[in-house]
């Protein structure tokens, strides 16, 4: 489009040049009078100037359209790149979520298979969020957000202790799936287990950890056996 307009502009300029030079010269030679531009030639000159101005305006419009089209093209490429990045990120999160669920299911089978050998049977695990003094920021079972996390506080519900009450050494493992910074925490606690059913005990850590958003699995181990686990989400 720019080349066509430029060609038209060149033709008008060339025509204008011939009108002015040869037209005026010829008229002067024939009449042998002072060089006065005839009215018809003057009108044609004005017309050429008007056409030239029109072409220049068309060129400016075309240049702006080309600039806008170029900017739109770059914006489209940028949006396409961002969409691809979001797709890759979502695909990675989906893969991590599937991995977490598979891990949870596999470990659950192991828990069921070894229950007869464990000192207690864990029926449920729930998690909350507390401050350093143990005051709840988010109670057990509430929605957890990464920006609010202080101390993760798990509570276990258990029964099945067959022997006299004793202290059990438990290992708590916390792993994340799909978070930007993978989490793999572990700490030990002493549980003063009690006889009977429907017992509960908090098993939080004294250490303050960082919990980025993602899917988490919390596991409770004793002497090489996983006694129970729970899967939960920490939102952004």
Same domain, 55 and 146: no
Residue 11's domain comprises 2-84
SS3 state at 57? helix
pLDDT, tens only, 128-176: 998 888 889 998 888 999 888 888 888 888 886 656 667 888 899 998 8
pLDDT for res 127:
92
Asked if the structure places residue 90 within a domain, the reply is: no
pLDDT for res 26:
46
For residues 187 and 206, what is the distance between their CA atoms, to the nearest angstrom? Answer: 9
For residues 105 and 147, what is the distance between their CA atoms, to the nearest angstrom? Answer: 29
Cβ burial 190-217 (10 Å sphere, 16+ → b, else e)? ebebbeeeebebebbbeeeeebbbbbbb
Partners of 226 in beta bridges: 221
Same domain, 133 and 214: yes
For residues 193 and 163, what is the distance between their CA atoms, to the nearest angstrom? Answer: 10
Asked if the structure places residue 95 within a domain, the reply is: no
Asked if the structure places residue 122 within a domain, the reply is: yes
Same domain, 231 and 143: yes
pLDDT for res 171:
92
For residues 21 and 17, what is the distance between their CA atoms, to the nearest angstrom? Answer: 6
Two tokens, residue 154: 């798990």
pLDDT for res 3:
59
For residues 215 and 228, what is the distance between their CA atoms, to the nearest angstrom? Answer: 17
> Which of 84, 102, 126 lies at the terminal end of a domain, its last residue?
84
Two tokens, residue 51: 């056409």
Alpha helices in the chain (DSSP H): 2-18, 24-31, 39-113
Number of domains in the chain: 2
Same domain, 119 and 209: yes
In 3D space, the residue among 89, 110, 220 whose CA is nearest the CA of residue 158 turns out to be 220
Which CATH number covers residue 154? 2.60.40.380
pLDDT for res 164:
60
For residues 35 and 106, what is the distance between their CA atoms, to the nearest angstrom? Answer: 105
Give Cα separations from 31 to 22, 36, 196 (angstroms).
14, 10, 131
Asked if the structure places residue 107 within a domain, the reply is: no
Same domain, 77 and 143: no
Asked if the structure places residue 148 within a domain, the reply is: yes
* pLDDT beneath 70, residues of the chain: 1-39, 41-42, 83, 85-96, 160-165, 178-180, 198
């Amino acid at each position: 489009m720019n080349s066509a307009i430029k060609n038209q502009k060149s033709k008008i300029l060339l025509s204008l040049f011939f009108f002015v030079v040869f037209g005026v010269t010829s008229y002067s030679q024939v009449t042998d009078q002072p060089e006065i531009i005839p009215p018809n030639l003057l009108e044609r000159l004005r017309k050429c100037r008007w056409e030239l101005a029109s072409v220049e305006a068309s060129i400016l419009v075309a240049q702006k359209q080309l600039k806008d089209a170029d900017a739109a093209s770059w914006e489209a490429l940028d949006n396409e790149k961002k969409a691809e990045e979001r797709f890759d990120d979502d695909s990675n999160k989906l893969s991590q979520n599937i991995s977490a669920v598979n891990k949870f299911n596999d470990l659950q089978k192991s828990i069921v298979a070894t229950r007869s050998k464990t000192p207690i049977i864990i029926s449920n695990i729930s998690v909350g969020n507390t401050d350093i003094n143990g005051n709840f920021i988010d109670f057990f079972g509430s929605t957890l957000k990464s920006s609010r996390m202080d101390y993760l506080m798990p509570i276990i519900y258990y029964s099945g202790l067959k022997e006299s009450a004793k202290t059990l050494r438990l290992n708590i493992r916390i792993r994340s799936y799909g978070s930007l910074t993978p989490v793999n925490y572990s700490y030990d606690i002493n549980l003063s287990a009690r006889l009977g059913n429907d017992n509960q005990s908090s098993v939080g850590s004294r250490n303050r950890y960082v919990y980025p958003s993602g899917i988490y699995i919390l596991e409770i181990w004793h002497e090489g056996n996983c006694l129970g686990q729970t899967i939960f989400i920490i939102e952004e």
